[in-house]
Amino acid sequence: MKSIRVLVMGCGGVGRQLLEHIISCRSLHAQQNLVLRVVGVCDSQSLLLVDDVSEMELNDEFLLELCRAKSAGSPLSSLRGSGKFHVFENFEVKEKVIDAAGLLGSSSGLAVVDCSASSETVEILMQAIDLGCCVVLANKKPLTCKIDEYEKLVSKFRHIRYESTVGAGLPVIASITRVLASGDPIFRIIGSLSGTLGYVMSELEDGKLFSQVVNAAKGLGYTEPDPRDDLGGMDVARKALILARLLGWRINLDELKVESLYPNELGPSSMSTEEFLNRGLQSLDSYMADKVRGASLKGNVLRYVCVIEGSRCHVGLQELPKDSPLGRLRGSDNVIEIYSRCYKKSPLVIQGAGAGNDTTAAGVLADIIDLQDLFL
Ligand SMILES: NC(=O)c1ccc[n+]([C@@H]2O[C@H](COP(=O)([O-])OP(=O)(O)OC[C@H]3O[C@@H](n4cnc5c(N)ncnc54)[C@H](OP(=O)(O)O)[C@@H]3O)[C@@H](O)[C@H]2O)c1
Ligand SMILES: *[C@@H]1O[C@H](CO)[C@@H](O)[C@H](O)[C@H]1NC(C)=O
């Protein structure tokens, strides 16, 4: 049996689903002579770590209890005293994670898995890599930091996986990596990488009002609590940057051109979420309707995409032929078209559900399993 020791940072929707997947895949992993041992879990305040990371693990019953406690809104520290582990807080968290990484990185191995939504984990991840550990991310922020830090983080490319950061479980990063590794140069990537914006733009084709469609998307649970977090485009921009950097572009987030679907006057500093939904959004209806109509007259549809091509990487609205993979998109799927020498006339297209705790966590688990050769 090969042991893969895992430390999970973040136990929100994705982190908890990952723990549940690990538990429900026990017999599948046993058939492959693998066993995943969870040695620690972090939330925003604390680290819960077994007393001896080389010899001990958190058992399944306890992990399920931990998931129940976190979904009920209790902090990890509420579990203190219920087993052979310690709960560390504040400055001790980083120190203890790095201690564990130092110990296991030079012996049996450790996968540090970032399922947080924080930009502050990058330092721990870089150190973990330096100490010989593996890193898996669902969190985009450490990969969209300044280019020098990014290059340090990914320098041991066999030790890091981040498939779920773009298109959730869809094999976007893996496919691009393979095309590049074959020596086939990629000259264009265009993708609809937000389920929310994919849904909104395809519904507009039916002549519905922008404000109606955004409210419907919110009702379906497709948007962030404040839909401006989706409409602003920054989440798509982070994904675009991850892909551009994968192609070798040495650029930073602030160098990307990002088109927001709402103007500054309707921003969070000017009005509340409620005001935006009830009145701000409506002021955008006629502008969007005109754009949709303009596209339609030319046989096109409007899509919110990221385009990486030539020397530009931008994120925003684009008119595309109705009869293209992106033009045919309906609903909340992600679609990405990749053009290279081999995929020139007929691009490599990847399409499917691009969000959700379940598929995202499944992608993270597949990444961990993919690193198994680095464990004893
Ligand atoms: N859900 C999806 O469909 C999806 C798809 C692709 C990628 N992702 C990415 O996956 C990540 C997790 O998403 P989610 O939906 O699970 O988010 P979430 O529900 O907000 O959970 C975030 C978790 O991270 C913890 N956390 C915050 N700061 C931390 C820190 N400095 N160190 C360690 N843990 C910290 C939070 O702690 P508390 O519990 O104390 O608040 C929480 O448990 C995000 O980066 C997201 O962008 C999500
Ligand atoms: C993901 O998990 C969070 C937290 O448990 C939950 O609020 C959300 O509805 C889940 N999302 C999906 C699409 O299941």
Spell 204-226 as b/e; 16+ CB within 10 A means b.
Answer: beeeebbbebbbebbeeebbeeb
Q: At what angle do helices 122-130 and 91-105 cross, to 10 degrees?
A: 20
Architecture of domain 2-168+358-374: 3-Layer(aba) Sandwich (3.40)
The per-residue pLDDT string of the chain (376 residues; one tens digit each, 9 = 90 and over) reads: 999 999 999 999 999 999 999 999 999 999 999 999 999 999 999 999 999 999 999 999 999 999 999 999 999 999 999 889 999 999 999 999 999 999 999 999 999 999 999 999 999 999 999 999 999 999 999 999 999 999 999 999 999 999 999 999 999 999 999 999 999 999 999 999 999 999 999 999 989 999 999 999 999 999 999 999 999 999 999 999 999 999 999 999 999 999 999 999 999 999 999 999 999 999 999 999 999 999 999 999 999 999 999 989 999 999 999 999 999 999 999 999 999 999 999 999 999 999 999 999 999 999 999 999 999 8
Domain with CATH 3.30.360.10 in the chain: 176-353
Residue 356 beta carbon below 6 angstroms from any ligand 2 atom: yes
Pocket test for ligand 1, best of 71, 116, 226, 367 (most atoms within 8 A of CB): 116
Closest atom of ligand 2 relative to the 355 alpha carbon: 13
Strand-strand pairing, 257-258 and 186-192: unpaired
Q: Which of 7, 29, 2 is nearest to 19 (CA)?
A: 7
- Give the whole-angstrom CA distance, residue 256 versus residue 315: 8
- Give the whole-angstrom CA distance, residue 275 versus residue 136: 39
Phi, psi of 136 (to 5 degrees): -125, 135
Domain with CATH 3.40.50.720 in the chain: 2-168+358-374
CATH 3.30.360.10 correct for 176-353: yes
Residue 43 beta carbon below 6 angstroms from any ligand 1 atom: yes
Residue 359 beta carbon below 6 angstroms from any ligand 1 atom: no
Beta pairing partners, 307: 190, 314
